[in-house]
Amino acid sequence: MLSYLHGFHAGNHADVFKHAVLTLLLDELLIKPKPLAYLDTHAGAGIYDLRADQASQTGEAAEGIERLWAQRETFPELATYFDAITALNPAGGCACYPGSPELARHALRADDRLILMELHQTEAQRLRQALGGDARTHIHRRDGFEGLPALLPPKPPRGLVLIDPPYEIKTDYSRVAEMLATALARWPNGVYAIWYPRLGVRDRAGRLLQRLLKTVPELLLAELTVRPQSDDFGMHGSGMALINPPWQFEDRLTQLLPRLAATLASGTLPDQSSGWRLEWLGRAA
């Protein structure tokens, strides 16, 4: 949706969860020496200033990256995530925050490739300013729902796709499922990470997962909840649906999610386990 600007939400709890999972995925995929392609359907501006007007208006980073940053020494598995933040903040702190394209750019190697899509004109311009000078990076000002299938299979043919539309209109949910079906037909061996919000009212996560399972036989579900679900329109958590994740990737998430949930929790949850969820959907027992 062209009215959505991620700068208002950069560094919030959903960003932290998404980016923690993303960098763990990259760590696993980069173990092998073969070149890797990273594709991002809704890339945004690439880098965000948490002191700027947009982020300052909402203050959401205070309950997200600022909390995690204060506890970063207790999360050694997120070194790739923290290294990217440190590189943008030579004087210290986390006020300059990397979006998913910059996290991937920082992690990837010389023979890897980034393919980034962003439709919003201003955001696409900022993305080019932030990452356009990197020869590995290919930026497309286009709708990611249309663009992803058109750009598959990528070169190199091994890689990861991040799908994270804003979901400000309900048709985004159905478009994600439709796009995934087309993408898998063209690139069945790719790793797909689909982010989605958990909302108090009009939550459509369940329907999205049902539609995804009509396309794939199984997926790894990871969710993080930071406050009790309420009857308003706020986001109390978010999730990632992972298709073709690296072997035993759930073991890494099992170690991370309980501690991440405890660090980011903003409300009293019924019990510790309610702050996170990790399970295979569709997998036979």
Taking only the tens place, the pLDDT of each residue in 131-141 is 989 999 999 99
Say if residue 223 carries a ligand binding annotation: no
Q: Is the pLDDT at 88 greater than 90, yes or no?
A: yes
Q: Binning pLDDT at 50, 70 and 90, where does residue 216 land?
A: very high
As a whole number of angstroms, the distance between CA 104 and CA 113 comes to 10
Say if residue 144 carries a ligand binding annotation: yes
| 3-state secondary structure (DSSP) of residue 260 | helix
| Spatial CB neighbours of 251, under 8 Å, sequence gap ≥ 6 | none
| Spatial CB neighbours of 139, under 8 Å, sequence gap ≥ 6 | 43, 116, 117, 118, 124, 127, 128, 131, 132
Say if residue 6 carries a ligand binding annotation: no
Q: What is the pLDDT of residue 199?
A: 84
Q: What is the pLDDT of residue 273?
A: 47
Instruction: Write the pLDDT tens digit of every residue in 13-54.
Output: 999 999 999 999 999 999 999 999 999 999 999 999 887 656
Mean pLDDT of 258-275: 76
Q: Is the pLDDT at 97 greater than 60, yes or no?
A: yes
| 3-state secondary structure (DSSP) of residue 227 | coil
Q: What is the pLDDT of residue 168?
A: 82
Say if residue 282 carries a ligand binding annotation: no
Instruction: Write the pLDDT tens digit of every residue in 141-177.
Output: 999 999 999 999 999 999 999 999 988 888 999 999 9
Which active-site residues does the annotation give?
164
What the chain holds in terms of domains, given with CATH numbers, is 6-281 (3.40.50.150)
Q: Binning pLDDT at 50, 70 and 90, where does residue 1 land?
A: very low
Q: Is the pLDDT at 226 greater than 80, yes or no?
A: yes
Instruction: Write the pLDDT tens digit of every residue in 168-181.
Output: 888 999 999 999 99
Single-letter residue type at 30:
L
Q: How far is CA 275 from the centre of its chain?
A: 18
| Spatial CB neighbours of 115, under 8 Å, sequence gap ≥ 6 | 37, 38, 39, 40, 138, 140, 151, 154
**Over the chain, what is the mean pLDDT?**
90
Q: What is the pLDDT of residue 257?
A: 97
Say if residue 232 carries a ligand binding annotation: no
Mean pLDDT of 110-123: 96
Angle at 84 between CA 56 and CA 151, to 5 degrees: 95
Say if residue 100 carries a ligand binding annotation: yes
Helices 100-107, 13-29: axis angle to 10 degrees equals 30
Say if residue 49 carries a ligand binding annotation: no
Mean pLDDT of 220-245: 87
Q: Is the pLDDT at 59 greater than 70, yes or no?
A: no
Lowest model confidence (mean pLDDT) among 51-60, 116-125, 154-163, 204-213: 51-60
Q: What is the pLDDT of residue 32?
A: 97
Helices 121-131, 100-107: axis angle to 10 degrees equals 20
As a whole number of angstroms, the distance between CA 129 and CA 49 comes to 14
pTM here? Answer: 0.93
The CA R_g of the chain, rounded to the nearest whole Å, is 17
Q: Is the pLDDT at 81 greater than 60, yes or no?
A: yes
276-281 vs 219-225, strand pairing mode: antiparallel
Asked if residues 206 and 229 have their Cβ atoms less than 8 Å apart, the reply is no
| Spatial CB neighbours of 197, under 8 Å, sequence gap ≥ 6 | 14, 167, 205, 235, 237, 238
